[in-house]
Amino acid sequence: MIQLDKKQTCTGCHACTTKCPKQCITMISDTEGFWYPQINKEECIDCGLCERVCPIITPIKFEDPFNPVAYACYNTNEKVRLASSSGGVFTLIAEAVLKQGGVVFGAGFDEDFNVCHQCVERAENLDKLRMSKYVQSKIGETYREAENFLKENRLVLFTGTPCQIGGLKAYLSKSYDNLITQDIICHGIPSPMVWEAYLAFRKKSAGGCAARRIAFRRKDFGWKRYSVSISYGNDTEYRQDLTQDLFMKGFLKDLYLRPSCHACAFKSIKRHSDITLADFWGIENILPEMFDDKGTSLVLIQSKKGKALFESIEKDLVCQNVNMDEALKYNPAAIRPAPIPKNREVFYNRFGKELFDKIIHDLTKLSFKTRVRTAAVKILNKLGIKEQIKKTLKK
Ligand SMILES: Cc1cc2nc3c(=O)[nH]c(=O)nc-3n(C[C@H](O)[C@H](O)[C@H](O)COP(=O)(O)OP(=O)(O)OC[C@H]3O[C@@H](n4cnc5c(N)ncnc54)[C@H](O)[C@@H]3O)c2cc1C
Ligand code: SF4
Ligand code: SF4
Ligand code: SF4
């Protein structure tokens, strides 16, 4: 029976609870808003299955010794590209699977804007899964649903964070030719409870009006300066860019990531998925011709299956092969977990007791030294004194 001695050793993937033959494991949210398994010991028959399918307790083996290959790409369909977080490659992969009669699993919103995994069977519903949601997505029953489709010989595309793909593979415990998996380079996932509190804060600011549509990464000001957008029932819209929106500010300072993200067991170039998707940060320095600030994806092909699927969508992509070191130069989240910031504990000590905006303002404001340095760099930049800037930064 699973015994969690440290919170960092559980990703909340749901493999254990889905597998338990007695259904005596419930996922319960802790005071930080993250789910952990709780076992009803009266019902447990000590079969050990939960430990065998936990990808942290029993690490899974790589199915394919394929050496990952990197590409810079974007979808030639500009409408889809602009409606996606980076280059819109997810949609092409998903459409290729749906065209073969398959099904696609990924993270979407429910009617209350909680983030949860769901299944899509028609191309017109893919917008539910499109675009990053910076909140942990609840797997719920989707591992079991995917298994049922696999057993019916339907082609299944399962997408999610690397730990969710690890959980699925561990739960299935065997390889399926009709399963394709796609993960992401994952910085970490914020707490669903903090997201809920943020939404309540925004609703109050909107005069109590309910949200109708939410997008974390609108590209109206560009891909690099993306913005959070919440449209309300009264035809008003809240819009702030990533440096100003309160939820994004706290996320980017790592104030409320899941503890397992700070010790992530899935950071590596080689993944358990067939394809890894990411933003190609730094593309303007590496391949300037692939940068137009509308979104460029970094794609890592992880297996023969991933390669075959990628070749089938290549005609709909602008695409260039890239050296792996160059590809990951500006994306440390691929291989290194974010360290725990000292303000994480302060955040949770104040969360729920003080106003959300006050906590975030206090914990994300720049120090006096940083503000002086930023102002100095701006002035020097205007004057074009580059050498002076370098010297100032060194001090
Ligand atoms: C929490 C999170 C952290 C990320 N961190 C990084 C990073 O550090 N560096 C980087 O380069 N890229 C990161 N990404 C990936 C990047 O934002 C894009 O999702 C990726 O490039 C795919 O873009 P796209 O345009 O092809 O497709 P899009 O349509 O934008 O992406 C849709 C895909 O994202 C999945 N997805 C969306 N939200 C979630 C979620 N909450 N949990 C699991 N899967 C989700 C969907 O299931 C679907 O597969 C992160 C994404 C998320 C969700
Ligand atoms: S040991 Fe078996 S019965 Fe007990 S919680 Fe784990 S899977 Fe369920
Ligand atoms: S990592 Fe997944 S399988 Fe392991 S204990 Fe946590 S929820 Fe269960
Ligand atoms: S950082 Fe690691 S543990 Fe956290 S969500 Fe991403 S893959 Fe899972």
Taken in order of first residue, the domains within the chain and their CATH numbers are 7-52 (3.30.70.20), 54-364 (no CATH), 365-395 (no CATH)
The pLDDT of residue 233 is: 86
Q: How confident is the model at residue 3 (pLDDT cuts 50, 70, 90)?
A: confident
**Residue 177 burial (10 A CB sphere; 0-12, 13-18, 19+):** exposed
109 phi, psi to nearest 5 deg? -90, 150
Confidence (pLDDT) at 319: 97
The answer to whether residue 19 scores a pLDDT higher than 90 is yes
pLDDT at 38 over 70: yes
Q: What rounded mean pLDDT belongs to the chain?
A: 94
The string of pLDDT tens digits covering residues 137-151 is 999 999 999 999 999
Q: Which amino acid is at 46?
A: D
Share of residues in the chain with pLDDT > 90 (%): 88
Pocket of ligand 3 (CB under 6 A): 2, 10-16, 37, 54, 56, 167
pLDDT of residue 380: 72
Paired tokens of 374: 């930023």
- CA distances, 95 to each of 7, 127, 156 (Å): 37, 11, 12
Per-residue confidence band for 46, with pLDDT thresholds at 50, 70 and 90: very high
In DSSP terms, which residues pair with 138 in a beta bridge?
A: 116
Q: Is the pLDDT of residue 176 over 60?
A: yes
Query: Comparing 124 with 395, which gets the higher pLDDT?
Result: 124
Q: Residue 65 — very low, low, confident or very high, per pLDDT cuts 50/70/90?
A: confident
What lies within 8 Å, CB to CB, of 209 at 6+ separation is 203, 232, 233, 234, 236
Q: Is the CB of 134 under 6 A from ligand 4?
A: no
260-264 mean pLDDT = 98
Q: Please state the atom number of ligand 1 nearest to the C-alpha of residue 295.
A: 25
**Alpha helical stretches, state H, 20-160:** 49-52, 78-82, 89-99, 142-151
Residue 191 beta carbon below 6 angstroms from any ligand 4 atom: no
Q: Which of 142, 184, 262, 329 to mutate to test the pocket of ligand 1 (most atoms within 8 A of CB)?
A: 184
